[in-house]
Structure 1
Amino acid sequence: MSIFRLAHLSDLHLPPPKGAFGWRDLLSKRLLSRIAWRRKGEEHRPEVLAALVADLKGQAHDHIAITGDLTNFASKVELEAARRWLEALGPARDITVSPGNHDALIDPGQAQPFASWAPWLGDSGEANFPQVRVRDGVAVFNLCSAVPTALHLATGQLGAAQLERLDALLGDSTYHDLFRVVLLHHPPVPGAVSKRKSLVDQDDLRALLARHGADLVLHGHAHEAMVATTPGPDGTMIPVLGVPSASAAGGLGHPAARWHGVEIARQADGSREVKVVARGLDPKTSQVAELGRYVLTQAGRLAPQRG
């Protein structure tokens, strides 16, 4: 039996460095985000994120998936600071980043706004989507739902071109015998978030998953530990898992910081067993600890691991 361990964290909201907000931003959506940060800054604490990352590094893992919102205003200064943070986290080939809506807050006026993050987006060296990374029997399909939006909106969109490429990739027999994990920031299931925060073309994505299948979908955005399913081929159900913010102190109605370890165990007969280990800030001790162990059922749900 071999085990591939995928660590999932999301919504880091790294503290804005000096120069992240300029006078030109007074006439853009960044002004509202800056006002909101005065409140959110008390919730998203760098020391909490540091403790969570230290715990993650102390646990066995083969790859790290980060599903967006590394920044707050999507300024060039923030994007560069996030790149340096990623460099400190570990080798780029072992980390995959799917950008979030805060990473694309306004139109950057350039074709590839995430060019500086390219080593963490996939193996192509380019900032395009989707990309597929194959690691020890696991295929990670990295999508980008981050698009600039109007005031008071935090919606996401994959777009026709990205969905068309994803259709071809999921249908490629090269990946059919691998454990297929799909990454994106916005949850692709109805009701997970309000309409103003939703993935506008989620029906199109679910149609692709129903046609081609996948083994797991990971997302962020909701700042909640979420468990849902979406239909796969032939009546199967694909599990969809979300994780709380990795920097949340536990106020403002959201749960405290957490990361998930997804353990994919391959048996000699070709079958797979998937377990999820939840680790995060224990509100009783304010220390990062194990919060629970779960087994992924055939129905795509999590059941507490016994024994």
Structure 2
Amino acid sequence: MFKFAHISDIHLGPLPKLSIRELMSKRITGFVNWHRNRRKHLFVNTLDLLLSDLKTRNPDQLVITGDLVNLATKIETRLAREWLDTIGNPEDTTVVPGNHDAYVPGAHDKSVAAWYPFIRSDDDPGEWPKDDHIFPTYRQRGPLAIIGCSTSNATPPFSASGFFSPRQARETVNLLKKAGEEGLFRVVLIHHPPIHGAAASHKRMIGIRRFAAAISTGGAELILHGHTHLNTVYWLKTHDRPVPVVGIASASQGPGGHKPPAAYNLFNLSGKPGAWNLTCERYGLTESGDGIHLENTKLFYGEAPVQISVEEAARVLQG
């Protein structure tokens, strides 16, 4: 049995003091939003409680699908790295960035550089090579092939969309095929939900059809995302078989808000190629905020009708 846990949308707080220069950008909108909304419901003690419970389950791997920070300031990025160092070894924790980690131009590269040991592929150098094309990343952990994709990019004010490029799609296909040939259970990490309608139009992922084509062509067993702060399960139907697409609440969300309280998913994997058995236990904060409880258990894998053909997948990837 191999166990791996999923958390997302950490949004480490509280916000640091910002300079006038830092506020003369999109950050001013995020600053206002934090003080009007997020600070009322996103708490560090909630995150601490969640992680304390998670550690008692002893997962073999922890994956984090983005939004470690809020406005991607220099001090936030540094503190996020210090936080990562406290929760585990880079070999045991895998990170992909989110839109808040690339809040303004240049922030994406600074975030990746700071958190690189937790992001990099197994065969990449120890220090960030200042390469914009490090994604998708590839890590093998036990029977898992963890493919990390990035939709993280700076956007205008009042926009939180993500972008999945044609280049990244093609390289993702290659990694998925490689992992499939090696008989590994392929888990794809991405911040934005790759499902039409899963996020509002100004928060959507641009390149959803391209991503679906990559998954249909390369093959995958599981897709994990964040961004929506919701506990969700969708299915991406391919020409082979349906692939579960699983989202999770913000790891810092306290009780009493309009979004569900903080939670994490614990996956239990057994079986072998062609006969995998995957279950998911979701542990979430109680509404009273005084503990963690098992919310539900889901069993994945089943049959579903074909949604995308091999020919259509090839055409979309080329586009």
TM-score strictly above 0.5: yes
Aligned residue in 1 for 2:147: 141
What's the TM-score, normalizing by structure 2?
0.88
Give the match for residue 49 of structure 2. 51
- Partner residue in 1 for 2:84: 86
| Structure-2 residue corresponding to 1:101 | 99
Query: Where does 1:262-281 land on structure 2 (aligned, <5 Å)?
Result: 262-266=267-271, 271-281=275-285
Alignment pair present for 1:230 and 2:236:
yes
Q: Using the alignment, how far apart are the partners of 1:297 and 1:177 within structure 2?
A: 17
- Cα separation, 1, equivalents of 2:274 and 2:140: 18
Aligned mates of 1:213, 1:106 — CA distance in 2: 34
CA positional deviation for 1:172: 2.4
* Consecutive unaligned residues in structure 2, runs of 5 or more: 305-319
Question: Which residue among 38, 41, 47 is the counterpart of 2:39?
Answer: 41
Q: CA deviation at 1:174?
A: 6.1
Change (3 A) 1:195 1:87: same
Between the aligned partners of 1:173 and 1:70, the Cα distance in structure 2 is: 28
- Decide whether the 8 Å contact of 1:282 with 1:291 is kept in 2: no
Contact 1:14/1:82 (8 A) holds in 2: yes
| In structure 1, C-alpha distance between the alignment counterparts of 2:180 and 2:92, rounded to whole Å | 21
- Count of residues in Structure 1 that have an aligned counterpart in Structure 2: 295
Q: Secondary structure, in 3 states, of the residue corresponding to 1:233?
A: coil
Q: Which runs of 4+ in 1 moved over 3 A?
A: 16-19, 109-113, 173-176
Query: What is the aligned counterpart of 2:174 among 153, 168, 171?
Result: 168
Match of 1:304 in 2: none
1:18 to partner: Cα distance: 3.3
1:238–1:34 distance in 2 versus 1, CA, 3 Å: same
Aligned to 1:242: 247
Q: C-alpha deviations, 1:130-159, integer Å up to 9, x for none?
A: 111001111000011110001100000122
Give the match for residue 297 of structure 2: 293
2:197 counterpart of 1:191: yes
Greater mean deviation of Cα atoms: 22-31 or 122-131: 122-131
> Which amino acid in the other structure matches residue 266 of structure 1?
G
- Taking the aligned partners of 2:232 and 2:164, their CA distance within structure 1 comes to 21
DSSP-derived class of the 2:62 partner: strand
Equivalent residues of 1:139, 1:175 under 8 A apart? no
Unaligned runs of 5+ in 1: 301-307
| TM superposition shift of 1:297 | 3.2
User: Does structure 1 conserve the Cα–Cα contact (< 8 Å) formed by 2:248 and 2:264?
Assistant: yes
Q: State the match for 1:68 in structure 2.
A: 66
Instruction: Output the CA distance in 2 between the equivalents of 1:228 and 1:96.
Output: 22
| 1:95-153 deviations in Å (ceiling 9; x for gaps) | 00111111100002785641111100023233721111001111000011110001100
Q: Are the equivalent residues in 2 in contact too, given 1:67–1:220 (CA < 8 A)?
A: yes
Work out the CA distance in 2 between the residues paired with 1:192 and 1:101: 16
Is the Cα–Cα contact under 8 Å of residues 243 and 258 in structure 1 kept in the other structure?
yes
CA contact (8 A) 2:108 2:154 kept: no
Write the deviation string for residues 134-191 of structure 1: whole angstroms up to 9, x where unpaired: 0111100001111000110000012232222212222326655110000010000101
Percent identity of paired positions between Structure 1 and Structure 2: 32
Q: Deviations over 1:194-218 (max 9, x none)?
A: 1100101111000111112100000
Asked if the contact 2:284/2:292 (under 8 Å) is kept, the reply is yes
Larger CA deviation: 212-221 vs 119-128: 119-128
